Structure 1
């Protein structure tokens, strides 16, 4: 697939997924109309909406400006083909890393908010290491099948700190099976299978997870759940 086609695919998918999040948030706000708009059950969607919107803007900028040689000459005085190609590659990598990190951070912060409400003692009010928080919470909510999704995304996010190389603290290879697919993480090796579209394709699962958490009896019946980093959308 040509680069231009890949850019279009990311733009289209991020737009569709963003709108799906918007629609779902509107529906939930109608169902749980007694909750304030700043409640963590709603801001969990707003944060993901912002990330997807920013990804779309980034790839539109890539398509409309960054891949054009004349733009580099006008804005930065660059004319050498190899330098321009490197800058384009670096910018796309920046978008990929920012998207992966911010998407996961949005999910993690929301799960910590829910943990403070549902499992305050076990999670030490949502402050223990995340790899300890989400399995307890998801088991409590009868959503155990999503544990491997978060484990997969956690591993991908953690490689960002090592420029895409898998270096876990226990120095052991890991194999994760999610939705009947196997993902292998080898110590000291770059995750060749991870790209923007790869991470983007998990967004519908993330949305479904958030919906199921919010609609679970333990969270839907809780009082106000404060989002310590509340955003508006």
Structure 2
């Protein structure tokens, strides 16, 4: 096994650990879901009646598995000279490494975009539920809706910075991977030993370690949100369906 294959195997193992964490969360929600269905007579044929809290962890698991499969493809295909020969391409070591890095970049961008998207949808579903303190009627994107929900739960101080970072990272996708804030300048955020650096006009150093780290903290943060007294008491959190593309 080549050093590159060993490295990719390490990322696959790290993603597997995140999947184990997600499986525990999904298992607990699945135990509760039959009670929700019986109590509120939810209709499985209408996605709008699916509970957003349960849907979130299912969707995040799908994203993680897609990224994991991408890394398996990198290990088993891209790093195998026989695969290049099978498709009639005369490869070189440089071409292999460049292709490997390209696929990793695509996997990271996919995970970032989709993770931010489902977090925004779920938090919007909670904020728009009309139950208890959650009576939001309009939103200006992930930063706005995450701040709204966090302020109304008991986890705001623990995860405010991370949701801010997630929003900033997601916005770089729409500016060719560079940090282009509407206002403000260079900034950096450190959390849990990981430093996120944002320099105006420069690419954000979002690497595989940060991607794996993000899968961990976002699932933990969302779990604490959906199980908080304020959110868990919502009888049924209908999945929010936006009428247009969400704002950044």
TM-score range, shorter chain: 0.7 to 0.9
What is the SS of the residue equivalent to 1:223?
coil
- State the Cα distance separating 1:65 from its structure 2 match: 0.7
Structure 1 residue runs of 4+, over 6 Å off? none
Alpha carbons of 1:104 and 1:3: their partners in 2 closer, same or farther (altered >3 Å)?
Answer: farther
State the secondary structure of the residue aligned to 2:36.
coil
Asked whether the equivalents of residues 78 and 84 of structure 1 are also in contact (C-alpha less than 8 Å), the reply is: no
Q: Which residue of 2 aligns with 1:112?
A: 124
Shift of 1:228: 4.0
Shift of the 197–175 alpha-carbon distance from structure 1 to 2, 3 Å rule, reads closer
> Could you tell me whether the CA contact under 8 Å between 1:113 and 1:226 is conserved in 2?
yes
Matched, 1:166 2:179: yes
Distance 1:87 1:33 in 2: 46
Residues 182, 56 of structure 1: alpha-carbon distance in 2 compared, 3 angstrom cutoff? closer
**How many residues in Structure 1 have an aligned counterpart in Structure 2?**
225
Superposed CA RMSD in Å reads 2.3
Q: Tell me the CA shift for residue 85 of structure 1.
A: 3.5
Alignment of 1:1-233 (within 5 A): 2-31=3-32, 33-36=34-37, 38-75=50-87, 77-81=88-92, 82-117=94-129, 121=135, 123-125=136-138, 127-144=139-156, 145-179=158-192, 182-192=195-205, 194-228=206-240
Structure 2 residue runs of 5 or longer lacking an equivalent are 38-43, 45-49, 242-248
1:120-156 deviations in Å (ceiling 9; x for gaps): 54x325x332211111210111211211011112222
For structure 1, the 5+ residue unaligned runs are none
| Contact kept? 1:72, 1:84, Cα under 8 Å | no
- Taking structure 1 as the reference length, the TM-score comes to 0.86
SS in structure 2 opposite 1:183?
A: strand
- Structure 1 residues 204, 133: closer, same or farther in 2, change over 3 A? same
Residues 171, 69 of structure 1: alpha-carbon distance in 2 compared, 3 angstrom cutoff: farther
With the length of structure 2 as denominator, give the TM-score of the two structures: 0.81
| d(CA) in 2 for partners of 1:141, 1:64 | 44
